[in-house]
């Protein structure tokens, strides 16, 4: 796709990570549109309304439709080169409708499905996260490959907001006063800022080197243990944090105790994978994997200091 004007459709553009991707696409100079479900009759959603305002301000066009409306999908795919999905957990399997639409359309040059976490083909999570999150993502991957749709899978590991236990109030983030440490706190995990996830996802989606590959965002400077993260937070904020230590046994008991609360059990299972088992770096990369900081050595990732400096 080098040297060709690109048209990007973002699905889930008002969601947590989707808005960063949509704004990054527009900032990169791509003709960007967002597929949004009509909100008629729904309860007021100020956060969604604000996200839509930011999309409009960035010059992003809105296409009305949804993943369960085939006609709207076919219309939304008109003249689109790249489709990037950032839908949430409840909609992961609805992407199968999108795969079928792209298979019929035959014009999409790259599809980035909603991943932005661990590599589901390499990491087996505890049951809640595996069943609710990983298995559906695997099913979508296999459908993409069977349909012959060009793809890039994007692996980001932890979002900065969650790695640093950031507080959120009225839509504003601030450093935490309390930090939860899982296990001994010495297992290294990798984080990426949400802005960098948007920027590098868009880069890879238009990059022939990432065609039919899995892109891993794991910048060396951002590989930190929780103990290292706490030390950085205390240095940057110049104050001591209240620390709460949760043992491996306590985590497993808590995961079992949240069995009927799917979201909570999924999050705890992911934390267990990253901070107890060390699954971020617990596998070897293969010929179908590419690493973002190696593909783009001149485009640096934001490190811990750069991220926290915005809030202190």
Q: How many CB atoms lie under 10 A from the CB of residue 289?
A: 16
Sheet with 152-155: strands ordered across: 152-155, 213-216, 289-291
> What CA–CA distance (Å, rounded) separates 256 from 275?
18
Residue 249 burial (C-beta neighbours within 10 Å; 0-12, 13-18, 19+): exposed
Query: If DSSP codes are grouped into helix, strand and coil, which group holds residue 292?
Result: helix
DSSP 220: G
> What CA–CA distance (Å, rounded) separates 168 from 20?
17
Catalytic residue status for 137:
yes
- Indicate which residue of 137, 188, 203, 243 is catalytic: 137
Give the pair of three-digit tokens for residue 163.
């790695």
Q: What is the DSSP string of 121-181?
A: TT----HHHIIIIIHHHHHHHHHHHHHT--BEEEE--EEHHHHTT-EEETTEEE--SEEEE
Rg from Cα positions in the chain = 19
Cβ density class 273-286: b for 16+ within 10 Å, e for less: bbbbbebbeeeeee
Phi, psi (rounded to 5 degrees) for 129: -70, -35
265-269 LR contacts (CB < 8 Å, sep 24+): 265/128, 265/129, 266/89, 266/128, 266/129, 266/132, 266/133, 268/128, 269/125, 269/126, 269/127, 269/128, 269/129, 269/130
For the annotated catalytic residues, the residue numbers are 137
């Amino acid at each position: 796709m080098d040297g060709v004007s690109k048209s990007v459709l973002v699905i889930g553009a008002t969601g947590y990570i989707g808005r960063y991707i949509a704004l990054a696409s527009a900032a990169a100079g791509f003709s960007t549109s967002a597929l949004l479900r009509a909100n008629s009759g729904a309860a007021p959603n100020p956060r969604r309304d604000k996200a839509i305002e930011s999309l409009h301000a960035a010059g992003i066009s809105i296409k009305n439709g949804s993943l369960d409306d085939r006609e709207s999908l076919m219309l939304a795919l008109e003249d689109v080169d790249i489709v990037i999905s950032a839908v949430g957990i409840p909609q992961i399997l609805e992407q199968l409708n999108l795969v079928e639409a792209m298979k019929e359309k035959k014009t999409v040059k790259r599809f980035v499905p909603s991943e932005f976490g661990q590599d589901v083909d390499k990491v087996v999570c505890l049951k809640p996260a595996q069943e609710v999150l990983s298995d559906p993502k695997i099913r979508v991957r296999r459908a993409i490959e069977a349909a012959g749709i060009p793809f890039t899978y994007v692996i980001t590991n932890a979002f900065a907001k969650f790695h640093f236990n950031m507080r959120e109030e009225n839509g504003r983030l601030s450093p935490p006063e309390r930090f939860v440490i899982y296990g001994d706190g010495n297992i290294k995990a990798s984080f990426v800022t949400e802005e960098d996830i948007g920027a590098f996802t868009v880069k890879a989606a238009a990059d022939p080197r990432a065609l039919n590959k899995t892109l891993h965002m794991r910048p060396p400077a951002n590989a930190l243990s929780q103990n290292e993260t706490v030390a950085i937070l205390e240095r940057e904020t110049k104050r001591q944090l209240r620390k709460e230590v949760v043992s491996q046994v306590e985590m497993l008991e808590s995961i079992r105790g949240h069995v009927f609360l799917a979201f909570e059990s999924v999050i705890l299972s992911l934390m267990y994978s990253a901070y107890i088992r060390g699954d971020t770096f617990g596998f070897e990369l293969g010929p179908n994997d590419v690493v973002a900081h190696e593909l783009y050595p001149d485009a640096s990732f934001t490190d811990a200091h750069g991220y926290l400096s915005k809030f202190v």
